[in-house]
Amino acid sequence: MGSLDQQPAGSATRMEAGSAMSHHVVIVGAGFAGLSLAQSLGSTPLRVTVIDRRSYHLFQPLLYQVATAVLSPGEIAQPIRRILGRHKNITVLLGEVDHINPERKEVYINGEALTYDTLVLATGATHGFGHSEWARFAPGLKTLEDARRIRAQILMAFEKAEMERDPSERERLMTFAIIGGGPTEVEMAGAIAELARQALARDFHYIDPTKARILLIEAAPRILGPFPEDLSAYAEQELKRLGVTLLTGKPVEDVNERGVGVGGEFIPCSTVVWAAEVAASPAGQWLQVGSDRAGRVAVAPGLSVPGLDSVYVLGDLALALGEDGKPLPGLAQVAHQQGRYLGKALPARILRNETPPPFRFHNRGNLAVVGRNSAVVHWDSFKLQGFIAWLVWGIAHVYLLVGFHNRFLVTMRWLWTYLTFQRGSRLITEDVIRTQATDAERGGPEAAGAPDPSQTSNLRKTADQPT
């Protein structure tokens, strides 16, 4: 079996054993956690290798805007090599992890062995299904492929409705169901409503897109459960103003090619988006340690895996407890802070033989946009809603985007959309249509019902620039 071990490019001589540069840190996954860690270690004498099955970092919080034709994929993704290229101690490998041997300290990528001194897994999560047979009819929203598939499905529904003469079938085609009541689902429902009632309103002759029916289905009594009740009530009111129908307190009982079953009623619809559950990648199996129902691996206060030497788990993959003893939520800010924490803790432990303090999560607040000029913000006892909250949401998301180029593009795209009410990415590409047809024949998307092995899957598409 081959080996991928190598010194970083630019090294004039091989480092002597025992030197700082001989300590090899391998990071699997370049999502928020993995990328934050790698950037922090870029200024250290440690040798770092970043592995991802995709070539680019993806800003997942804005995926729904790709799915609803607000943004194009390249505006929320950035090649990993471009982000980390200035750090000479970091090597980036494009590949997929097959398995891990913790005893020999080896990671296997496409059948090749890579040895490590410290291993960090930050492979993220994908959508999970209690019923795997539903996956083919209800795509999740975790990757660029998911977003492009959903965008094509939504736009194709209106195109098919334009040619459909059966009123009941036309109504089914123009009915969209989003399952889940969290921020992503609320944002998705509001974006589809605005797409139909604003951007598409004048583009068809035989159908009226403003009559499209958008359903937001949540098993809990209310949407936005982590938010205070008054902010949740405001979001419900704003969604209803946009024409979204809320079905709360009603779990989904069935999903098939004709629609969804909810609360003993079957609702015909053409497009179902599943975002109610997530499942972590199979790192627990790789490490041969236990995991919870969602596939998360329990970690110590310092984010290490108990019982394993120099193995750490971050982000959505980690079952980390907050100061209140409850599991930390799968949020970008949690992953980002964990990456920054470990970026300081590892050099302290490895280079200075210091014991760093345990990780502490500092909540920067929860945000959710409902629609144009409408959002909610909650931070401790501080609450905002309406236009000011909408501005805060926009500024926060632009700030968190990687790279000035992406920040500028997204800001300009939002400004253009705000002034014209139009969407600039309303493309239905043949490759997506062919993929959908193939998925239908095979019984669902390749990743449906199974965790994506890398958040890393946070990087998507071509070798350099997403399409």
Catalytic residues, which ones?
187
Q: Which helix (H) or strand (E) holds 442?
A: helix 430-442
DSSP 10-40: T-SSPPPTTSGGGPEEEEE--SHHHHHHHHH
Take residue 248 and report the two structure tokens written for it: 């709360």
Helix, strand, coil in percent for the chain, rounding step 5: 35, 20, 40
Tell me the CA end-to-end span of the chain in Å, nearest whole number: 35
Handedness of CA 254, 257, 260, 266 (dihedral sign): negative
What secondary structure does DSSP assign to 383-433, as a single string?
EEESHHHHHHHHHHHHHHSSSHHHHHHHHHHHHHHHHH---S-----HHHH
Phi, psi of 304 (to 5 degrees): -85, 160
Contact 186, 229 (CB under 8 A): no
Instruction: State the Cα–Cα distance between residues 238 and 259, nearest whole angstrom.
Output: 25
- Contact at 8 Å (CB) between 117 and 19? no
Amino acid at 296: R
- For 200, 314, 348, the CA distances from 354, given in Å and listed in that order, are 59, 21, 5
Q: CA-CA distances (angstroms) from residue 82 to 30, 79, 268, 463?
A: 13, 5, 46, 12
Alpha-carbon span 330 to 242, nearest angstrom = 28
> Which residue shows structure tokens 């036309």?
170
- Amino acid, res. 21: M
Strand partners, 31: none
Nearest to 25, CA basis, from 36, 11, 16, 37 = 37
The tokens describing 28, both together, are: 């699997």
Please state, in angstroms and rounded to a whole number, the distance separating the CA atoms of residues 255 and 136: 9
Closest by Cα among 47, 40, 42 to 19: 47
Three-state DSSP state, 143: coil
Residue 45 — φ and ψ, nearest 5°?
Answer: -80, 10
